[in-house]
């Protein structure tokens, strides 16, 4: 191998590492902002900054006496993290363009940047809507959707651009993985309704103003039902993946991880119901939602992989046999 080839290979490896670090940075940031958002809610700090984009009228930063200092600090900190997330998504975008990646990877990077900006606007709308439950729900759900796509980005960014896609396991199992993702969407949607009917409004002064006026116990049972559906489909997916002779070790590991985090999340949810939804459990439950979403994204993404063109020729017959 010539010196020039060695230098080119090392440069490519550095570029891919940089892209990978940026992608995982975005995934971590998207997950963390759901945690800080939950802390805002349970501490009643949602209107610690009562306008947007300024914290208070005429001031971008907190103002002494405008609201309790701890509430201003928490809400302003959550908004500041949005700026950090914008920086991370710009890093990812620059990294994939400098690496000359395929358009699909670039599109995934754009989804993150545009998504964060849209989320900031939705956050501003929720403030102006005085944290009505539906506004807060519409603020949370896109965040976990971005977590899902960030997980897919982390997987796809490590694949070659000049290859072809190869199914890791049969089409019916990939469809089951899609069903698991849809079930997760139901879990998250009903979860926002439980939160909307719960005691933590996001603003310490509003009480139950703007809350979802349904029986929280009834809503919790619906949410639990979707969780059991999600868990059941995931266990079925895990069994199918292990039964498939072509499933990779990585795919099996992520499937096991998904079952584990779902069970952990279910345990926290049961604990919440039995303890009357104490404040400290809410950030844990919300953050685990992001973890479950990320792992679901990894499981879904590992259903098909991209291999170099020379390997694709060798596996074409296998890929055709796997397409049911």
Structural tokens at position 193: 């309704």
- Helix, strand, coil percentages for the chain (3-state, nearest 5): 75, 5, 25
Per-residue model confidence (pLDDT) at position 319: 43
Q: What is the spatial distance between Cα 221 and Cα 10, in angstroms, rounded to a whole number? A: 55
Per-residue model confidence (pLDDT) at position 203: 45
In order of 97, 151, 153, 309, the CA distances from 101 in angstroms are 6, 17, 12, 16
Per-residue model confidence (pLDDT) at position 64: 85
pLDDT averaged per 10 residues, the chain (length 324): 62 88 96 88 76 83 84 87 93 95 95 92 77 78 93 94 84 90 93 73 48 75 90 93 86 92 91 81 90 94 81 48 43
Q: Which residues contact 141 (CB under 8 A, 6 or more apart)?
A: 188, 189, 192
Residue 268, classified by CB atoms within 10 Å of its CB into exposed (0-12), middle (13-18) or buried (19+), is middle
Q: Which residues contact 187 (CB under 8 A, 6 or more apart)?
A: 223, 226, 227, 230
Cα dihedral 114/115/116/121 (nearest 10)? 90
E strands of the chain, at which residues? 164-167, 304-307
Structural tokens at position 218: 């009834």
Q: What is the spatial distance between Cα 300 and Cα 323, in angstroms, rounded to a whole number? A: 16
Cα three-residue angle 127-130-136, rounded to 5 degrees: 65
3-class DSSP assignment, residue 167: strand
Indicate the DSSP class of residue 68: -
Residue 153, classified by CB atoms within 10 Å of its CB into exposed (0-12), middle (13-18) or buried (19+), is buried
């Amino acid at each position: 191998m010539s010196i020039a080839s060695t230098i080119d290979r090392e440069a490519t490896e550095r570029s891919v590492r940089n892209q990978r670090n940026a992608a995982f940075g975005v995934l971590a940031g998207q997950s963390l902002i759901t945690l800080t958002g939950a802390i805002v809610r349970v501490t009643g700090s949602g209107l610690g900054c009562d306008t947007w984009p300024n914290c208070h009228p005429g001031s971008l930063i907190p103002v002494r006496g405008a609201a309790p200092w701890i509430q201003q600090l928490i809400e302003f900190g959550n908004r500041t993290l949005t700026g950090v997330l914008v920086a991370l998504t710009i890093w990812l975008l620059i990294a994939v363009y400098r690496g000359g990646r395929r358009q699909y990877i670039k599109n995934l990077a754009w989804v993150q940047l545009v998504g964060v900006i849209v989320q900031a606007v939705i956050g501003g709308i929720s403030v102006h809507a005085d944290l009505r439950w539906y506004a807060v729900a519409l603020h949370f759900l896109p965040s976990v959707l971005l977590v899902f796509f960030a997980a897919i980005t982390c997987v796809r960014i490590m694949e070659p651009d000049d290859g072809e896609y190869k199914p890791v396991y049969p089409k019916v199992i990939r469809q089951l993985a899609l069903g698991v993702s849809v079930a997760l969407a139901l879990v998250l949607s009903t979860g926002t309704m439980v939160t909307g009917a719960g005691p933590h409004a996001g603003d310490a002064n509003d009480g139950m103003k703007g809350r979802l006026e349904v029986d929280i116990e009834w809503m919790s049972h619906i949410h639990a039902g979707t969780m059991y559906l999600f868990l059941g489909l995931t266990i079925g997916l895990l069994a199918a993946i292990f039964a498939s002779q072509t499933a990779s070790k990585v795919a099996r590991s992520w499937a096991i991880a998904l079952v584990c985090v779902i069970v952990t999340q279910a345990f926290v949810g049961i604990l919440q119901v039995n303890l009357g939804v104490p404040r400290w459990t809410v950030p844990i439950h919300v953050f685990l939602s992001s973890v479950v979403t990320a792992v679901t994204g990894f499981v879904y993404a590992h259903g098909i992989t991209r291999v170099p063109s020379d390997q694709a020729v060798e596996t074409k017959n296998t890929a055709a046999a796997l397409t049911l």
